Structure 1
Amino acid sequence: ADRPLLHGVSLRAAAGQTIAIVGQTGSGKSSLAQLVNRSYDASAGRVLVDGVDVRDWSLDALRSQIGKIEQDIFLFSRTIAENIAFGKPQAPRAEIEQAARDAQAHDFICEQKDGYDTVVGERGVTLSGGQRQRIALARAFLSNPRILILDDATSAIDSATEDDIQRALRRVQRGRTTILITHRLAQIRWADTIVVLDKGRVVAAGGHAELLRSSVHYRRIFSRFDAALPPAEPALAAA
């Protein structure tokens, strides 16, 4: 029988807040994010956007407000400009170029053979992971979604461009409700709320410093992914 991926998960994000979702592989992080844009529907419970059940929104209206950047960026075998304008095909070139600048992508695009009119290979194979990532960020700047889902969005970037992309990510999150799924401590620690999932359940929620003190699950995640993190402190004995 099918078993639920998520159990009893309840959380709320105010407009403009960043909610980071962390957990070991298979804990349900991406499944939770996929409920927001209705990649599939919950079998029990509800997901509300602006107080309205996502199943009551028209799919086009819902998804037009949501930008999603994943680890595996899908690019079409078209020009770079057309790929950036995927969510806003009538956008003038000046807007496309401004979105690329905001995403730290303009300089590398100008270095391409035909600039913005360069045709990228199928699925963007002619571009590096970091370049594909920045085109996806430019898409998000151009389409200007109210809700942004970043699902392991920086895992493919190289260290040479990481600082540029981190700056672009912070800029694109401003004023938007953001669901952030990542193991990168540099991004997580600035979230308004961090939600820790384990086997499909919320086992802790709070700020970074608070969770380091109080959550074994949270410390365990970062002892694996961040060598600079101090070892977990032993639980305090009751006085």
Structure 2
Amino acid sequence: MDQYPRWLPFAMVAIFAVNWAYLVATRPPWDGNSYLPGILQPIQVIILMLIAAMSARLVLLSGTKNSLALIGLGVVLDLVIGGTLLQLEVPLYLDTIGSVLVAVILGPSAGGLTATISQGILSIMYPPATIFYMINVVVGWAAGLFAKMGGFTTAFSVGLSGLVTGVLAGMSAAPLMALGLGDAPIVNQTNPEELLMKFYGIFFGALTSPGAISDVLDKILVFGVVSLIARWIAQRFHIHKPVFEYRSQIS
């Protein structure tokens, strides 16, 4: 099912590179909660233009009505569920449940695209989301890859896939925490050794923080929920060869 153009992964990486470079260059202030009025507007415009271009190209090249409708559902689930839990300030996000659902049915490219679209829209309503959008893209992509490898066939494989994906999400967030934020304590460092040591301190601190642990639990829960509803959703959208059945198709 994952028959999207080969350029799609490179386009997603390009969006991430522009995003990350902008953050490193401007080092916007960040307190974890507050809005960042004005300072992220240029990057939002660039990201949304790239998202619009990718989406239009996919519609013309490889989209079918059913798969595009499923991607739309995934975007809505990401925004509604993730936004609701964000407002409730609970220690779980579930903001990738739609992207993971799309990924295990249509494949990693579709999952990554769903996360890209939903996070691009979210960045307009909640600018700090722009900083960490790549994390959700990694989650969507990884879910599709695990589905292809049989990661949604048993309860154990689902839990293990969610665990590994949660760790990958933490590893994706750590460099952004270390270099992308204006209040990081390495801003004024000129000694290369001191700068490197502080970078490693922030990087591994982010990996072992309570937020990282919560992220792992969140991904395990997301993968578990998706494993329960994926087959039913695939049937409703008339997807006859979902990716999570890949193992049984080739065995």
- Same-fold call, TM > 0.5? no
Question: Aligning the two structures, in what range does the TM-score lie when normalised by the shorter sequence?
Answer: under 0.3
TM-score of the superposition, structure 2-length normalised?
A: 0.25
TM-score of the superposition, structure 1-length normalised?
A: 0.26
If asked which structure has higher relative contact order (CA below 8 Å, sep 6+), I would say 1
Greater CA radius of gyration, 1 or 2?
1
Larger proportion of helix? 2
